[in-house]
């Protein structure tokens, strides 16, 4: 089969490799769609721990075509999405439900081969059937949508809470879609330029702020005069995190959903201490696939338009280049397979 392989940081190529066979407890999925994520670029650049050589790709959908255990045979032929978390299911962390803290935790697309390939091996326990009215491309986007759902859940966001989203990348925009679906109000999205904010406006953001042209702190005083109930940083940028801490209301919540790339950052502790803020980490998708796909199937969230560039696997360089340059109008490149 064809697979995009990162041999070592900075070295990526399209390879012909053997079709993998699923071990017991796993299935093989014929990939139908796999979206390129900004995180994959971090893997390519060597900024995230990964097992090289590696095929990246953790935002996928497809059809089960082989199983490792006879009792999983009923999955064959099913349209699916699924969790990327591979764990032991036996240790104390797994048994308590905190499986992401499993000592053997491995994630597909990082420690194990992912979906920039014709086939991917995934654990049966994480599978989720993709309803007929959700396309493969839309289904692949359940992964970033799940990150957004998990972020709002960890933030304790409630119906009619006010919300500020820092950043209009895929995760920021997924959080916007999820915040709208759950009935948050006066949702503000900010980004440096208008480029992505046009999309946020179309998706129903109540307000957008281009921080290169407008003063974020001053604008927010007008929109949420007493501060914001839930501020979500989806940038991982120091200045944005500092501002998030200033913009949350007294007793409000700041959720950190952006990857900080291992950088040390300065924050003013008193912004948290004096105002009794809750600051929560929200770095991953913790079993949110089923919820995400239900929102799509019920028509409460439609992010299919995120897939601005449908590409073939042979065009991987174009896809990676688009993801890096993020030209106007671009949101996501998605590999589509016959």
Interface with Zn ion (CB under 5 A): 37, 39, 87-88, 91, 94, 102
Q: End-to-end CA distance of the chain: give it in Å, rounded.
A: 13
Shortest reach from residue 87's CB to Zn ion, in Å: 5
> Residue 308, preceding bond cis, omega within 30 degrees?
no
Shortest reach from residue 259's CB to Zn ion, in Å: 10
Residue number with CB closer to Zn ion (91 or 310): 91
Residue number with CB closer to Zn ion (123 or 252): 123
Taking a C-beta distance cutoff of 8 angstroms, is the pair 215, 207 a contact? no
Taking a C-beta distance cutoff of 8 angstroms, is the pair 22, 68 a contact? yes
Strand-pair category, 332-336 with 307-311: parallel
Residue number with CB closer to Zn ion (94 or 157): 94
Shortest reach from residue 106's CB to Zn ion, in Å: 11
Shortest reach from residue 4's CB to Zn ion, in Å: 15
Shortest reach from residue 276's CB to Zn ion, in Å: 33
Shortest reach from residue 197's CB to Zn ion, in Å: 21
* 260 phi/psi in degrees, rounded to 5: -85, 5
Strand order in the sheet with 278-281: 207-210, 185-191, 162-166, 228-233, 248-256, 278-281
Shortest reach from residue 332's CB to Zn ion, in Å: 10
Residue number with CB closer to Zn ion (8 or 92): 92
Residue number with CB closer to Zn ion (59 or 161): 59
Q: Which residue has the tokens 């075509």?
A: 65
- Structure tokens that stand for 307 in this block: 């897939």
Taking a C-beta distance cutoff of 8 angstroms, is the pair 189, 208 a contact? yes
* 55 phi/psi in degrees, rounded to 5: -95, 115
Residue number with CB closer to Zn ion (147 or 277): 147
* 39 phi/psi in degrees, rounded to 5: -60, -30
Give strand ranges (E) for 9-161: 11-16, 26-35, 59-67, 79-82, 85-86, 106-107, 119-123, 127-129
């Amino acid at each position: 089969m064809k697979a995009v392989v990162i041999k070592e940081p900075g070295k990526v190529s399209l390879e012909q490799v053997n079709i993998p066979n699923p071990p017991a407890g796993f299935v093989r999925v014929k990939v139908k769609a796999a979206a390129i994520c900004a995180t994959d670029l971090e893997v390519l650049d060597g900024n995230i721990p990964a097992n090289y050589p590696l095929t990246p790709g953790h935002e996928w959908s497809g059809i089960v075509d082989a199983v490792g255990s006879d009792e999983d045979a009923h999955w064959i032929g099913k349209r699916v999405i699924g969790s990327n978390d591979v764990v032991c299911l036996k240790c104390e962390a797994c048994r308590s439900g905190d499986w992401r803290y499993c000592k053997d935790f491995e994630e597909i697309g990082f420690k194990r081969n992912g979906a920039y390939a014709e086939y991917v091996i995934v654990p049966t326990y994480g599978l989720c059937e993709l309803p007929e009215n959700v396309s493969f491309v839309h289904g692949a986007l359940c992964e970033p949508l799940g990150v957004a759902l998990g972020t709002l859940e960890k933030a304790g966001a409630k119906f009619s809470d006010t919300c500020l989203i820092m950043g209009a990348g895929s995760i920021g925009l997924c959080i916007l879609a999820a915040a709208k679906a759950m009935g948050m109000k006066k949702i503000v999205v900010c980004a440096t330029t208008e480029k992505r904010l046009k999309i946020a406006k179309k998706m129903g953001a109540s307000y957008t702020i281009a921080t290169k042209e407008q003063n974020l702190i001053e604008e927010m005083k007008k929109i949420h005069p007493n501060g914001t109930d839930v501020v979500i940083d989806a940038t991982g940028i120091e200045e944005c995190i500092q501002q998030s801490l200033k913009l949350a209301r007294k007793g409000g919540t700041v959720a950190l959903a952006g990857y900080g790339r291992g950088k040390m950052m300065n924050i003013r502790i008193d912004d948290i201490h004096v105002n009794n803020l809750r600051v929560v980490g929200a770095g991953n998708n913790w079993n949110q696939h089923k919820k995400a796909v239900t929102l799509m199937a019920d028509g409460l969230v439609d992010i299919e338009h995120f897939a601005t560039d449908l590409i073939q696997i042979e065009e991987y360089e174009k896809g990676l280049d688009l993801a890096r340059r993020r030209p106007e109008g671009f949101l996501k490149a998605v590999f589509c397979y016959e």
